[in-house]
Amino acid sequence: MASELKKVAIVGSGNWGSTIAKIVGSNVLSNPKFDKQVKLYVYEEIVDGKKLTEIINTQHENVKYLPGHKLPENVVAIPDVLEVAHDADVIIFVVPHQFMPNTCKPLIGKLKKDAFGVSLCKGFYINPKGDVDLISNMVRNLLGLECLVVMGANIASEVASGQFCEATIGSRNKSHGLLLKEVLQTDYFRIVVSEDVEVVEACGALKNIVAIGAGFCDGLNFGDNTKAAVIRLGLMEVMKFCDRFYQKHEHRTFFESCGVADLVTTCYGGRNRRVAEAYARCLGQKTIPELETELLNGQKLQGPEAAQEVNHLLRSKNMENDFPLLTAIHRICSGEQPVTSLIDNLRNHPEHL
Ligand SMILES: NC(=O)c1ccc[n+]([C@@H]2O[C@H](COP(=O)([O-])OP(=O)(O)OC[C@H]3O[C@@H](n4cnc5c(N)ncnc54)[C@H](O)[C@@H]3O)[C@@H](O)[C@H]2O)c1
Ligand SMILES: O=P(O)(O)OC[C@H](O)CO
């Protein structure tokens, strides 16, 4: 009987990974379908002279990435990703997307055949053919796993504090979608399952780029109208991007938590916005990576990398002019144009022609 219990593993223990560990660790304790132990992959580092895994396993708190929130004691921190995932039935990937390829490599060919993956990573990657692809496709192609996604308006510290919010699971497999909902849903973290897997995921990746634009507006002291225009044009570009690249989808998916709600929360409360504001305020005196290090204590931005990945795609398809906001944000992040020129790129936006 015990071997039939579903094992849930979590790969990644940053701000969101630790929050998810708090939720999953608690949910499995009260659900007879699941094994009570949740293994958590921790990218090992030394914090105040001690290994982070040891701190988590003794103090039950990720003091670096989610300070002030206790993790359930059945969450066990492990520095070896294969040990975490090899016997799991549900493998939740929640590392900054740029680290996914290297994190997944040790797992190739070593996972349970009927396990499924779940990506909470917001970003894209360049696949072996040189094309820009969804992170869930990396999990599918590299690891041979079915892969669901979870995206939503979920600033980790607020979720960890139990403040009400929503999220969207993207899954075409109904039973896996519902099983995952049992793993994640709480009375304050409410979840809708959508079959529009690609759009759910792309919304999560693209909104980080728009949030950089919102942060630039804040740092340049533009008012609420300008920021609202940037957010709206961002939404239109996100929708156009999905129309161009993920043709079969429902309009309502953009109004799930993964869509408008995540766009709004990230443009007001996210790390991408915060670092972009600081970049605009210092008018190029510091780079975005320098400010990321200075302000985020090891947490990682996803927006600048996603902007570069998207630009790689748009440039290869000669579509940069159709996406002026996404293109301008990439050019500012990469130092090709000054932050003060952001709005000039939007005056003749295709939405206004
Ligand atoms: N934090 C949020 O509010 C939030 C909410 C929803 C989704 N997400 C998404 O979740 C994903 C993970 O973000 P996070 O907030 O949990 O992480 P984070 O940015 O808080 O932390 C960075 C993590 O990366 C790890 N790391 C550093 N170098 C590494 C390496 N070379 N290889 C592997 N890991 C390394 C660190 O140990 C740490 O766990 C991102 O795609 C993010 O967009 C974040
Ligand atoms: O802090 P950010 O900008 O990485 O955004 C966090 C989450 O993605 C919000 O849903």
pLDDT of residue 3: 56
Give tens-digit pLDDT for 88-104. 999 999 999 999 999 99
1 within domain boundaries: no
Q: Are residues 185 and 205 part of one domain? A: no
* Predicted-assembly ipTM surpassing the 0.90 threshold: yes
Q: Which residues line ligand 1 (CB under 6 A)?
A: 12-17, 43, 65, 94-97, 99, 103, 120-123, 154-156, 298-300, 302
Q: Are residues 30 and 78 part of one domain? A: yes
Q: Which of 195, 225, 251 finishes a domain?
A: 195
Residue-number span of the structural domain to which 216 is assigned: 199-352
Q: Are residues 250 and 111 part of one domain? A: no
Q: Are residues 273 and 139 part of one domain? A: no
Q: Which atom of ligand 1 is nearest to the CA of 16?
A: 16
54 within domain boundaries: yes
Three-state secondary structure of 35-50: CCCEEEECCCCEECCE
Strand order in the sheet with 116-119: 75-78, 38-41, 8-11, 90-93, 116-119, 146-151, 165-170, 189-194
Q: Are residues 186 and 224 part of one domain? A: no
pLDDT of residue 248: 83
Q: Are residues 241 and 320 part of one domain? A: yes
Q: Which of 148, 164, 195 finishes a domain?
A: 195
C-alpha–C-alpha distance, residues 45 and 106, integer Å:
19
28 within domain boundaries: yes
Q: Which of 195, 220, 243 finishes a domain?
A: 195
With CA atoms as reference, report the closest residue to 151 among 164, 137, 136. Answer: 136
CATH code assigned at 51: 3.40.50.720
C-alpha–C-alpha distance, residues 70 and 60, integer Å:
6
Q: Are residues 186 and 205 part of one domain? A: no
* Catalytic residue chosen out of the listed positions 7, 39, 207, 227: 207
35 within domain boundaries: yes
342 within domain boundaries: yes
Q: Are residues 301 and 177 part of one domain? A: no
266 within domain boundaries: yes
Q: Which residues line ligand 2 (CB under 6 A)?
A: 122, 153-155, 208, 211, 262, 265-266, 270-272, 302
Residues (pLDDT < 50) of the chain are 1-2
114 within domain boundaries: yes
Instruction: Indicate the top mutation candidate among 63, 95, 265 to test ligand 1's pocket, ranked by most ligand atoms within 8 A of CB.
Output: 95
176 within domain boundaries: yes
Provide the domain count of the chain. Answer: 2
Q: Are residues 52 and 19 part of one domain? A: yes
Distance 256 CA to ligand 2 centre (A): 16
C-alpha–C-alpha distance, residues 342 and 348, integer Å:
12
Q: Are residues 96 and 45 part of one domain? A: yes
With CA atoms as reference, report the closest residue to 16 among 159, 148, 165, 169. Answer: 159
Q: Are residues 164 and 33 part of one domain? A: yes
pLDDT of residue 322: 98
Q: Are residues 211 and 175 part of one domain? A: no
The reply to whether 207 belongs to the active site is yes
Alpha helices by DSSP H, the chain? 15-29, 52-59, 81-85, 100-104, 135-143, 156-160, 174-184, 197-219, 224-245, 262-269, 271-281, 288-296, 303-316, 324-333
Instruction: Indicate the top mutation candidate among 262, 300, 305 to test ligand 2's pocket, ranked by most ligand atoms within 8 A of CB.
Output: 262
CATH code assigned at 282: 1.10.1040.10
User: Any residues with CB less than 8 A from the CB of 65 and at least 6 apart, and which?
Assistant: 13, 14, 15, 17, 18, 298, 299
pLDDT of residue 17: 98
pLDDT of residue 247: 79
pLDDT of residue 1: 43
